[in-house]
Structure 1
Amino acid sequence: MKDIISIYEFLKNNHIQILSTSIDNTPISRPIASALLYEEKIFYCMNKDKKMYEQLKINSKISICVCASDFSWIRINADAIFSDDLRVKQEYINQGRTRFKNANDDNFAVFYLKNIKAQIHKKAEVVNINS
């Protein structure tokens, strides 16, 4: 759990993350800012009508990269696992971290990171995290 908290704290303190997917051997990157720690998992939320949703359904392998203002940075490789857990969706709503108003909205998707391999780089130090 300590490792997940270390990753989440970095994400929480650096709101905009760059999430990359790959379709037909073509990498695609975009900003995402919805990291949420819930029951020892890092979740993200999104709309099902976005291309990213379609891409993740085809290939769940993702990479997330974030650089902090002090030039420390993190790289995360993981699998994006979709969940229908209404409690997670409701937590996003409760925290005001989504435009969705109803956890049962058919367009509301959440996924969590599984098989995480991460590196946090701070100055000359590199911390490797696998969970």
Structure 2
Amino acid sequence: MEKVVQFLKDAGTYYLATVDGDQPRVRPFGTAHIFEGKLYIQTGKSKDVSKQLHANPKAEICAFHDGKWLRVAGELVSDDRREAKASMLDAYPSLQSMYSADDDNTEVLYFKNATATFSSFTDAPETIKF
């Protein structure tokens, strides 16, 4: 999992895909953090992406860096604990101007039943499950 997070951080931006009814939705994200052995991302509860994930937690992220790409598919599970939110915000201090571990908007979610696949045009795919 550390390799997955490092790739996401090196890429800087990854794209999160969700489902809105029968319409796929994709948007850029930048948070990737390990807390208690799980891969977490962060958003705001007021955003459409949060509503989509609560209706259907299946999601996939994709990032590209140095000629390789990573796809992580799984379920995103909301973790409302203050400790999880604080850990994410400590890892991304720039978010602290918009979010707080104590507000009603900050949401952190972790991947459950995830499959990460590293791919390129030259190497065989590498798969990691967590």
Q: Normalization by structure 2: what TM-score?
A: 0.90
Gap change, CA 1:104 and 1:85, over 3 Å in 2: same
2:75 to 49, 64, 79: 79
Gap change, CA 1:105 and 1:118, over 3 Å in 2: same
Counting only pairs closer than 5 Å after superposition, residues 1-131 of structure 1 correspond to structure 2 as: 4-68=1-65, 70-95=66-91, 96-98=93-95, 99-100=97-98, 102-122=100-120, 123-131=122-130
Whole-Å separation in 1 of the counterparts to 2:28 and 2:113 = 21
Unaligned runs of 5+ residues in structure 1 are none
Whole-Å separation in 2 of the counterparts to 1:20 and 1:14 = 17
Q: Give percent identity, aligned residues only.
A: 27
- Cα deviation for residue 32 of structure 1 reads 0.6
Contact 2:99 2:105 in 1 (8 A): no
- Cα deviation for residue 25 of structure 1 reads 2.0
Give a deviation string over 1:18-42, Cα, whole Å, max 9, x none.
0000122211000010111111111
Contact 2:99 2:106 in 1 (8 A): no
